[in-house]
Amino acid sequence: MIDRQALRKEFDQLQAAIGRRGEEVIDPGSAWAKMTELDKRQRELKTASETLAADRKRVSKLIGQKKSKGEDASEELAAMGEVSRQAKELDAQARDAEAEFAAALLEIPNALHESVPAGSSEDDNVELRRWGTPRCDEVPAHWDIGTDLGILDFEAGATLAGSRFTVIKGAAARMERALMQFMLDLHADKHGYEEVWVPAIANSKTMTGTGQLPKFADDLYKLEGEDQYLIPTAEVPVTNLYQDTILDAADLPKRHCAYTPCFRREAGSAGRDERGIIRQHQFDKVELVHITTPERALSDLDELVGHAEAVLEALELPYRTVQLCTADIGFSSQLTFDLEVWLPSQNCYREISSCSSFGQFQGRRAGIRYREEGGKPQPVATLNGSGLAIGRTLVAILENYWQEDGSVKVPAVLQPYMGGMNVISK
């Protein structure tokens, strides 16, 4: 969440940075407007409370003086009772205003970094670089390739669970496992991440810490009758490993990689990618998470992006790196770079990894702080990115390595993970 002190000390700059997301974010009916009004109300209540405290002190002193002289203090005692009543009423109002303020604060998106390009849609994202040569011949869609090879079963997935679920079989199932192992080995052994294995279920406090709640409740799968949710990404449990802790600055940055299944209701994606396995309710992903200092955040983000790019280059999959504009960037992010892999059947690049810096936004929400020697604790900066989304990587391999006889070559770097298999055929 945003810095509460900055709301007062740097109001204009903060409003401008958040307002770049769109006028509706700060318009009169927004959570931002409600929050600023509640902040004003809290200051008024504080002033009134301080006035009552002064009155109480004055009246209390007067009562003491009268009693010491044997004089009647009934009038002052009655006044003291009224002051106490008003104080209790103000305290109750202050508690209510604080609760409303805290709730509104959780609805406010992160302030954007000044380098985020302005835009009105994803079409305004800025391409930074490309790697590899896109394949431009006629290639079937991955769902046709997978069905013909008998390795993707969409009917079975629909029978077992409903739409946007798929059964992955045979060589494709083994490739999913191979991709997971390859990515984790690369990040742990070569990029220096500590691998962790975390729960695929998180409680509401954990979901709130990374910004999934309350904003995206409709996209989450909630366990009936429980304060628990299926995680939409490993970012949630891995970042919250340090929930409500104070870290030593000397121990930063902390870098973790993790494989998890991920679950998303995709409530806002009706009609998009209904065929195939690009947008599923359940999918697999390897995630990269950094816990670092604000000063290191942007340089660490460049490094994290490079680690995700290294996966695509090792697999020899053409991709491009783009910077997201103001209209396309996520709620919690201050700066995001997407990696988009080439899909020849669609003749375009599609997102396969999103790498973001959140500044201290998640650190404040999750209570993750660090302390320099002799200094006061302050919120950490956090970053994360997919390294990579495994299902979409499988899609890219099926299409980019497809051969005219209907078979699919296995990328050289994956062959040791697949028992030496070098081609998937009927």
The CATH number covering residue 57 comes to: 1.10.287.40
392 is a catalytic site residue: yes
Using alpha carbons only, give the angle 384, 368, 386 rounded to the nearest 5 degrees: 10
Instruction: Please pick, among 264, 364, 365, 369, the residue that the annotation labels catalytic.
Output: 264
72 touches 66 (CB < 8 A): yes
Which pLDDT belongs to residue 332?
A: 97
Least confident of 94-108, 169-183, 362-376: 94-108
351 part of the active site:
yes
Mean pLDDT of all residues belonging to the chain:
93
Beta bridge partners of 279: none
Residue 115 lies in a domain: no
Catalytic residue flag (residue 354): yes
Q: Containing H/E element for 340?
A: strand 335-343
Shared domain for 81 and 147, answered yes or no, is: no
Binding-site residues for L-serine sit at 233-235, 264, 287, 384, 386
Tell me what pLDDT residue 170 has: 97
Report the Cα 1 to chain-centroid distance in Å. Answer: 12
* Average confidence (pLDDT) over 262-273: 79
146 and 74 in one domain?
Answer: no
> Rounded CA gap, 223 and 149, in Å?
36
Nearest residue to 357 via CA among 304, 422, 424, 407: 304
CA distance 371 to 354: 29
295 and 160 housed in the same domain? yes
Q: Quick one: which H or E segment has residue 371? A: strand 368-371
Cα-only R_g, the chain: 27
Whether residue 162 is found in the same domain as residue 199: yes
**Which residues are CB-contacts of 148 (< 8 A; sequence separation ≥ 6)?**
140, 406, 426
Give the pLDDT mean for 2-20: 90
**Is 319 domain-assigned?**
yes
CA angle 133, 138, 142 (to 5 degrees): 90
Q: What is the pLDDT at residue 171?
A: 98
Of 4, 296, 351, 371, the active-site residue reads 351
pLDDT in tens, 270-323: 667 889 999 999 999 999 999 999 999 999 999 999 999 999 999 999 999 999
Asked which of 60-64, 174-178, 182-186, 413-417 is least confident by mean pLDDT, the reply is: 60-64
Q: With a cut of 90, say whether residue 244 has pLDDT above it.
A: yes
Binding-site residues sit at: 233-235, 264-266, 287, 351-354, 384, 386
- CATH number of the structural domain spanning residue 272: 3.30.930.10
232 has pLDDT over 80: yes
65 in the same domain as 129: no
- The predicted pLDDT at position 418 comes to 97
- Point out the catalytic residue in the list 345, 354, 356, 357: 354
Element (H, E) at 348: strand 348-357
Cis status, amide bond into 214, omega within 30 of 0: yes
Give percent of the chain above pLDDT 70.
98
Tokens at 71, concatenated: 């004089």
- Statement to judge: residues 146 and 225 lie in one domain: yes
Three-state secondary structure call for residue 74: helix
Catalytic: 264? yes
Band of residue 238 on the pLDDT scale cut at 50, 70, 90? very high
The whole-number average pLDDT for the span 142-151 is 98
Q: Pairing mode, if any, of strands 245-248 and 368-371?
A: parallel
Boundary residue ending a domain (38, 72, 107): 107
Pairing of strands 228-230, 201-203: antiparallel
Q: Catalytic: which of 4, 130, 279, 320?
A: 279
Interacting residues of 365 by C-beta distance below 8 A, sequence separation 6+:
1, 106, 208, 209, 210, 211
Q: What pLDDT shows up at residue 384?
A: 98
pLDDT tens-digit readout, 49-85: 788 777 777 777 777 777 777 777 777 677 777 777 8
Taking residues 209-233, report their average pLDDT: 97
Asked whether residue 380 is domain-assigned, the answer is: yes
Domain of residue 19, residue span: 4-107
Q: Rounded to an integer, what distance in angstroms lies between the CA atom of residue 93 and that of residue 260? A: 44
In a domain, residue 112? The reply is no
Helix pair 11-19, 31-68: axis angle to 10 deg? 150
Binding-site residue ranges for ATP = 264-266, 351-354
pLDDT digits (tens, 9 = 90+) for 357-370: 999 999 999 999 99
pLDDT above 90 covers a percentage of the chain that reads: 78
Same domain, 137 and 90: no
- What does the pLDDT look like over 323-358, one tens digit per residue? 999 999 999 999 999 999 999 999 999 999 999 999
Q: Are residues 216 and 71 in the same domain?
A: no
Looking at the structure of the chain, the number of domains it has is: 2
Asked if the structure places residue 355 within a domain, the reply is yes
114 domain residue, yes or no = no
State the Cα–Cα distance between residues 300 and 294, nearest whole angstrom.
10
- Do residues 190 and 284 both lie within one domain? yes
> What is the average per-residue pLDDT within 189-216?
97
Residue 113 domain-assigned (yes or no): no
- Does residue 211 share a domain with residue 168? yes
Residue 312 belongs to some domain of the structure: yes
Residues 387 and 415 in one domain: yes
Q: Please give the full DSSP string across 245-260, using - where no structure is assigned.
A: EEEEGGG--EEEEEEE
Give residue 270's pLDDT.
Answer: 67
- So what's the pLDDT on residue 269? 66
391-409: average pLDDT: 98
**Mean pLDDT over residues 188-207, rounded?**
98
